[in-house]
Each structure stands twice: as C-alpha cells, then as structure tokens.
Structure 1
C-alpha cells in the first residue's frame, strides 16, 4: 500500500494544577506532651517507615518503568535498523510492501512506515517523523519519543531512507500500573506492621521506665528512699543507677538535715537555758517587796554572764546562718582579690586580740568565687588561731604561690596544737574537743571554713606549727594579681628590735 508522507505534527502538553497534599494529621501545639510515650514512639516509627517505604516505592516504580521502556526502545531500534537496511536494498514497491506486511505479521501491536531513498512517498502506516534526532553512527540518525499511547522510533539514513516504528504501550503501562498498586499495598501493609511492631517494641522498651515511674510514685507516697533493683547494663540500667544515686543523695541530705537540726537545737538550748536562769535571778532581785537581795558584785557577775551568753548565742546563730547559706544553691561568682580579704580579716582579728602579735606576708592573688563566703572563711581561720594563742603569743599568716594556678595560705598559732586523732574531726559540724569545751565557740567555725574552701575547689588540712601550735594550710585556685602587696612590716622590723625574732620570722615565711 502506497501512502503519501503525512505532515509533521506537533504535540501540545498542558500541566494541570496539582492538588495540595495534606498530612496524615493536623499538628497542633502541645500534641506531643498529651500523647502517651508509647504511641509517640509507635507513630514516630510509622512515620519513619512510611518515609523510607515511600522513597523505596517511588524509586522502584521509576526504575521498573524506565527498564520496561528501555527494553521497548531497544527492540524498536533493532527492528528499525534491520528494516532500514532492507529498504535500502529493495528493488521494487512490491518488495517493500511485502517487507511491511511481514513485519506486521510478527508484530501485530506495532505500526510501520518505510520510505526508500530518493522516493517521495512512504509505505505502511501514517507515523509522524519528527522529534529530536541524534547520531547513531554509520550515517544514521535516531529519534525516540512517546506520542499518545505509542512509543515511536524513527531512523533516518543520510541517503534519505527513513523507517518509523510505533508500538502500543497500553500493555506495558497496565503492567506498570499493576506494579504500582502492588507497591502501594505493600507499603501500606509495611507501615501498619511498623506501627504495630513499634507498639510491641515500645511496650517492652518502656518497661524499665514504667518500673522507674512506680518507684518514684512509691517514694512520693511513702517518703521511703529505697533504691530500685538494677537489671542489665544498658542505658535504662544506667538511668536506674543515677536514680538510686539521687535517692542516696536525698537520704544523706535528709540525715544531715536531721542531725543539723538536732545539734543546733542542743547547742542553742545550753546558752538559752543559762541565760534564762540568770535573767530570772535578776528579775527576782528587782521585784518590789522582795526581802532577798543580791550583792552588787554578784549582780555585776550575773549581768556579765548574760551579756556573754547573748554574744555566744549571737555568734552561734550567725554561724548557723552561714552554714545554711553555704548549703544553698550555687551563688553567682565574681573576681575576688584574696589578699584584700586577708588584709581586712587581719585588721578585724587585731582589734579583737590586741594582746597577740600578728606576723603576715601577703601576695596578690585573684580567684573566681563568692567574696562574702571567702571573707567569712579567712576570718574564721585567723580568729581560730588568735583564740588558741596565749597572751603575747604569735599568729603567723603567709600567702605563697606554689605554681601558676595555686596559692597556699598558712595560718600558724602558738597554742597547744591539735592532736593527730582530732585533725579531721575539727572540720565536722559542732565538734569540740575536750580542751575546746572550756573555750567560747560553737564548733562551726572550721566546718564553715572547709565547706567554703572546697566549694571554691580548694582544700585544707591541719599540721603542726614550728613553734608547737597548730598550722592550718589551705590551697586556693586562681592566678597571681598585678603589682605587689606590702607585707606587714611588723614581722621583719620587730618593735623590740629582737634580731632573733626577725631571723625566725624570715625562716618561717620562706619554708616550703
């Protein structure tokens, strides 16, 4: 059958507006906290699986579609190349007609158009011959495109011979559509299975959290800080260990608080009872019509005792407040000049004990910390040394940098010293040795000192002083300040001009 060459046709395409996609649920503020943790885990697992399955499904669909189309293109190109060679060797129109009929017989779903070289007409079906041609080698150009439901391959020789093949893609597209349906069904089933598996896994995985929650509820209801049994070595076991450590810390805090209240009550009771008795005696003596009278000397002694007991009570309350302040949360730190604190504390200690000789060497030192707490600790150290030094005794204070980030503060007294068995106990709250019970004090001063120093990442210990007293040696972190600080001239230029005292002081300040 002889056909005229059809005119070149152009295909128009239009893009329909796409519909907006909605998510599986509308996200609202505060949804996560209200949903159970198990469902949140399951839904999270489902969403992740859905995303992975969707990506895999789309990739599989696109790959299979591309492979099937490539196979059709390859088969059409092979057939078109074979027909092109035969058309160039045909000698008559009848031979071309037989060639077309034979191809249709073996490929019933394909259409064929053959144009011999230098001929003005084509044999076969009407197939558009346009498209983007590419070089295929051997003087042949190839065009591959889709028109409607057909895949069209056109091969054109430089001699003018042209072969066009069009194959119906309906069956291929139906196969791809079936594959897409199967993939979507499998994806939906996989997502449901993932959610169900997430529920099962989350229930098993959250069992230790449930046990931990029951334990926390038990502690809340019964106030019993009993530790929880640890099972395994995984992250939940580590969380349980941390919870048990928290319970132990709470129990220790509770014990310390109870002991602190008991000790404070006991320490407050003694001066209050004594002061109450003395005040009652003074009140009875001042009542009108009372025949009993107190001698003037005894009255003055009673008044002196009341004042001393009030001072003791005031000191005790101040120490308790300082301890409570140190037990509070971490305070804001600032740059503190330790040498200024030592100088100020020394001035206060000299006013309290003018009968004691203070010898001092100060170096500039700066650290990060709480100035009020550090001032209280340093003052307690110097006051403690002054309290235990006898009249005309000596208190030696030395600041010495031992490395780039550490300063040593020594405070030596000339008192009786501290026995080795009591050197750790003196830092305990309310501890007072047998010798100290006759001295004024609350037993809290050195406890405050150690608590402040340790909070500032330092340390303190008790040693023997070279002249038989006690040495309290504290280490402070920080760095050296700028400039120089004048030390107390008293320790080098003694007022009495005693050269031996001067040599001893120099040796004491320069020792390691």
Structure 2
C-alpha cells in the first residue's frame, strides 16, 4: 500500500477509534444520568401517601378506576409479604418479585433498588421499602417502566452512530487531503532522486520552505547533491590534471625510447655521450612518473579526521631531522641549517615526514634559482611547536598565495621547474589530519617562509599508560 494510502487509513482508524470512544462514553454518561434521575424520582416519592394501601389488594392487575391509580408515577404499586407472596395495589401489570424485595419485607434490608421484568414484557425500575407498623411484616414495591430511559438512549445511540459514521467518512477525506499535502515535498524529493538516478544530473535542487522535518530532509538532500557534484567535479579535475601532467613525461619518454630503438634498428649507434644523456633523461622521467603516481595514490585515499585512532605520538624534531638529512642528499650545493627543539605531536610518522620533506624540497628547488651564492641556503627552526622553513629564492607573488595548496596548481614562474604541483596539497592534507596549521608567506628580506604549527608538548609522554592530552596548536 502506498505511503499516502497508509497515512489516510491510519488517520481514518485513529479518528474512528476516537469517535467511537467518545460516543460510547457519551452514551454511558447519558444512561447513568437518566437512570439516576429516575432513581431520584422514585426516592423523592417514597414518603408520599399510597392510595388504596388499606383497601383491596389483587393477585393480578385489576381494572382499577382512574381515581385509584398512582398519579405521581402512573406505573405499578405492589405489596410484598415476608413469605414472598405479593399483590398489586395499583397499576396495569405485575412486576417480578426478587430476593432483595423479600429481604426488605423481612426487615433484613432497609430498601432495594433494582431492575425487574413485568408481565407485559417491559423492564421496570423498582424501589422496595418496608411498610411501617404492618402486621404481618410487608414491603411496598414502587415500579416505573424504563421506557423513559431506554427510548432516549436508543435515539441517542442512533444519532451517535450516524455522527460517528459521518465523522469517519469526513476524516477519511481529510486524511487523504492531508496526506497529499504533507507528502508533496516527499514527492518532489522522490522525483529529484529518480531524476538523478535516471540522468546522473547532480545539479538538481529541491525548493525548501519552512523548518520542519521535510524541510530539513530537503536541505540535507541538497547538501548531499552539492557535495556529490563537488566531489565529481574534483574527481574530473583530478583526472584531467593527472592526464595533463602524465602526458608530458610520457611523450618525452616515448620520444627518447623511440630514438634509442631507431638507433638500434638502423645500426647507426648514437654517440656515447648522447646515449648516456638519453638514458639519464629516461631514468629521471621514470622517477618523476613514480613520484607523480605516488602523490596521486596519497591524495586518492580517504582523508582522516584530526586525532583519529591511527595517529601516534612522535617527536616532530626527530621527523624534521630525518627529513633534513634526506633533503641534503638532493640539495646540489644548497646549504641546509637546522635548529630543532624537542616537540612531541600525534601524527602518522611516515606521512608527517613526507610532508616535511615536501616543504624542504620546495624550499631547495626555489632557493636554488637565486643567482647570489650567499643566498643559496635554507634555514629550518623548530621552537615552541612551530616549524619554520625559510629559503632565499624569488618568493611567491601575493596573488599566488591563496592557490599554493591546490592540487596541480603551479605558479607561472615554477612551470619550467620539475614537479607535479601535488606536494603542497599533500602537506596541507597531512597537517589537517594532525589538527595543525600550515601557511606560506613572504619572508623578511626576500624568499618564502613555510610555517607549520602542530599541537603537542615539549616533554615526551610517559612510557606506560595513556599519553597525556596534548595542547592545541600554538599561536603564530
């Protein structure tokens, strides 16, 4: 059954139950009130004079003259003896005598109030009370038919049934209308989902009105489609940029390899110097391809939240020392000086070391472009949890600073230098996972300074037990 039909059905059932309960409660309340009113009437006339009490008593209903009938009730008046025998004083029928009536006649009960059947087939409400000073003991039964109660109750039951039926029918219609109105946003959401599944168009947005659950669902859906569209755009951009970056080294590789193969096929060997240069170029290009593929693999894995369980406490100064040693092997005449104070952080050791190496390689690459030999140096300092790497290269233009951590972005002055434009993206990703901050800014006196701040502590954690909570990243 569709959701709209289920909601309409549930609404109808709920209204039907509520109306039935209210109708039943009203019927029972009216019944009790009518019976209580009849009982009050019988009790109020208990002390009234009884015509014919000293006159003749018949064993069955006689044809009593009009002036002998009970004017206040117009019903039945009987005498009950202690032996259980009864006779009628007034009325058109006799009423069945019960054990309670006999108990009243025998003085074992002060009075009795109950229903009884008459010989005419009608139901009577009977009040029995003792006759004072009667000998032998006797009681009077005053009975009044319940038609005055049952008739209105039957009419009330019919009216309540009709009203309840009309209410249920009306509630069904209202439930259908409310279900359609309430589920209209869900229909729009369903249509949008079906459209996306059919066309893979992630630019669909659902109009949002109000602040209810449906509006929240619509906002969440719009946010989800926006995130998916952004993810697809980033994926397409990554594929396009990776293809563009791979095309150049692959073209160069193919050219060099074809040249070497043609030399072998034609039997005209290349000069040894040219041959060694071609092989060195092929080796370098293969290395660039390996680095590019490794960077792509690093960026393709899901990014962890800061402080995730895979991080461990490591010494940033030790990581930086190893990174400086690796960078010196590729410095090619650059001078690297390091002053590292102890600082312990939570990070993935391999990823953090790679990030520091990328920063150092970036500083070495741009620092080597300066023509002044005195400026061909890189200073590395670690103090108070802040790692600074400063070079004396040409620096970064102010317009380029917002883009330095974007994937495959390279400044116009760096496009002639080796690299894929992924190193700083990996650095920013690693620092985010560690809960830190990374910035690149112009250095005083020229060059560029990379500032890496990670939350940590200057003392190592205890060897046993849980490591102490590390403070947040330092300011600056």
**Structure-to-structure mapping, 1:70-109, within 5 angstroms:** 70-80=36-46, 82-83=47-48, 86=49, 93-94=54-55, 104-109=70-75
Q: For 2:277, which of 289, 301, 304 is the aligned residue?
A: 301
Of 153-162 and 305-314, deviating more is: 153-162
* Change in CA separation of 1:102 and 1:446 when aligned onto 2, cut-off 3 Å: farther
Aligned length: 426
Cα deviation for residue 372 of structure 1 reads 6.6
- What is the distance in 1 between the residues matched to 2:168 and 2:350? 63
CA contact (8 A) 2:409 2:421 kept: yes
Map of 1:166-245 to 2, 5 A cutoff? 166-228=143-205, 230=207, 232-233=209-210, 235=212, 239-245=217-223
The reply on whether 1:361 has 2:341 as its aligned counterpart is: yes
Structure 1 residues 373 and 454: alpha-carbon distance in aligned structure 2, compared to 1, 3 A threshold: same
Counterpart residue number, 1:49: 15
Alpha-carbon distance between aligned partners in 2 of 1:301 and 1:428, rounded to the nearest angstrom: 34
Indicate which of 434, 437, 443 corresponds to 2:421.
443
Residue 309 of structure 2 corresponds to residue 334 of structure 1: yes
Q: Which residue is 2:114 aligned to? A: 145
Q: Is the 8 A contact 1:153 1:164 kept in 2?
A: yes
Alignment CA distance shift 1:450-1:348 (3 Å) = closer
Is the 8 Å Cα contact of residues 395 and 414 (structure 1) preserved in structure 2? no
Report 1:406-421 matches (<5 A): 409-416=386-393, 417-421=395-399
Q: TM-score, normalised by structure 2?
A: 0.73
Indicate whether 1:58 and 2:24 are aligned.
yes
What's 2:378 paired with?
Answer: 393
Structure 1 CA distance for aligned equivalents of residues 139 and 307 of structure 2:
90
Structure 1 stretches of 5 or more lacking a match? 1-34, 134-139, 401-408, 486-509
Distance change (3 Å), C-alpha of 1:459 and 1:77 = farther
Correspondent of 1:130 among 93, 100, 114: 100
The root-mean-square deviation of aligned C-alpha atoms, in Å, is: 4.3
What is the CA-CA distance between 1:387 and the residue it aligns to? 4.7
Per-residue CA deviation, residues 81-131 of structure 1 (Å, 9 max, x unaligned), is x24xx57xx998349999xx9563442334444789xxx999857744628
- Is the partner of 1:356 in helix, strand or coil? strand
3-state SS of the aligned residue for 1:443? coil
Shift of 1:71: 1.1
Tell me by how many angstroms 1:307 deviates. Answer: 1.4
Residue among 229, 237, 246 paired with 1:259: 237
- 1:26-72 per-position Cα deviation (integer Å, ceiling 9, x unaligned): xxxxxxxxx21221121121121122112212211221121111111
TM-score of the pair, normalised by structure 1: 0.69
Q: Distance in 2 between matches of 1:480 and 1:51?
A: 71
| Alignment partner, residue 451 of structure 2 | 473
The residue that corresponds to 1:380 in the other structure is 358
